[in-house]
A = this chain, B = another copy of it.
Amino acid sequence: MPDLLAEARQDLAIANRVLANEGVLDAFGHISMRHPTNPDRYLISRYGAAELMMPADILELTLDSKPVVPTSGRLFSELVIHGAIYQARPDVHSVCHHHAVSVLPYCITGVELVPVMHLGASLGGKVPFWDSRDEFGDTPLVVTKPEEGASLARALGPHWMVLLRRHGATLAGRSLRECVFRSIYTSRNAELQSRAMAIGSISTLSDGEAEMCGSHSLTPRTLSRVWEYWTFRLAKVEATTAGAGAKAPGATKAPGKSPAKASARRSKAAARPAKRAAAVPAGRARKAKRAKKR
């Protein structure tokens, strides 16, 4: 179904740029989503920084993280993080891997991330750790082999966030918007937890509060509100710079097109994210309604 796939590419490209604009992704890190109609495929961008990604940069991969269409373009070395989680978790439709500054101190110290305010329910309960040393000894601290991805997926278990020691974090979501929400608000929660620990003893949400907060915030209503907010902020930033003609070198990979034409398409496309983001097709709205309540 070409329309749903084109829409998914648009949304995933926007999600990349939203996560960059909100400080979660930077030169490194990536976000993917399961194919909208084929659960044995997932979508992720070509190799590069999230801030640059446009729909033409989105590739389709098998759950073994192989490109469906052969490509000479570069791929992320850590694709197995995504593929392994999609294999292990049929309920997961989006995965994000990042090195956000507010979260990494927990990966470095092993201090537990806990929900300290209502939006911290985005943590989804317990946040396990994964240490590559346990199974693999010394590694270059990148998850590149299928067995490493499978090990990480086992550590994630039924949870929604896992911290990779001395490396970063991986989030899962039942939809792209939920994964973006979890990625941003777990980072905000981590920042607040650190600031609170600096001035006194922290109190956390009770289990009952955490469950109720999760139900309240992980709804289409709330996800729409924050998506409107993030895409508006992104549109403001991109309108300012697109008008001035900023171009990323080599960012577009639309097959057969010249770089100049690709850049022009890129600039025009960059100025449309808010408009695109506002259209919520019937299919996705129905899927969001069906998502199991926590």
Binds B, one of A60-68, A89-97, A187-195: A187-195
Q: For the complex formed by this chain, how many copies does it contain in all? A: 4
A212 touches B138 (CB 8 A): yes
Residue of B52, B140, B245 touching A212 (CB-CB under 8 A) = B140
B residues less than 8 Å from A274 (CB atoms): 246-249
Binds B, one of A80-88, A109-117, A147-155: A109-117
A217's nearest neighbour on chain B, judged by CB, is: B140
Binds B, one of A1-9, A35-43, A202-210: A202-210
- A243-B244, A244-B242 as given contacts; A232 in contact with B118, CB under 8 Å: no
A120's nearest neighbour on chain B, judged by CB, is: B166
Q: How far, in angstroms, from A158 to B183 measured CA to CA in the complex? A: 40
Contact flags A221-256 to B (C-beta < 8 A → 1, else 0): 100011011111101100111111111111100000
A48 within 8 A of B: yes
The listed residue with most B CB atoms (<10 A of its CB), out of A27, A165, A198, A250, is A27
- A101-B192, A199-B106, A239-B244 as given contacts; A212 in contact with B111, CB under 8 Å: no
A224's nearest neighbour on chain B, judged by CB, is: B74
B229 touches A27 (CB 8 A): yes
The listed residue with most B CB atoms (<10 A of its CB), out of A139, A166, A221, is A166
Q: State the Cβ distance, A53 to closest chain B Cβ, in Å.
A: 11
Q: How far, in angstroms, from A120 to B225 measured CA to CA in the complex? A: 33
Could you list which residues of chain A lie within 8 angstroms of chain B, going by C-beta atoms? 26-28, 47-49, 51-52, 74, 99, 101-102, 104-111, 116-119, 133, 137-142, 165-168, 188, 191-206, 208-209, 212-213, 215-216, 221, 225-226, 228-233, 235-236, 239-251, 271, 274-275, 277-278
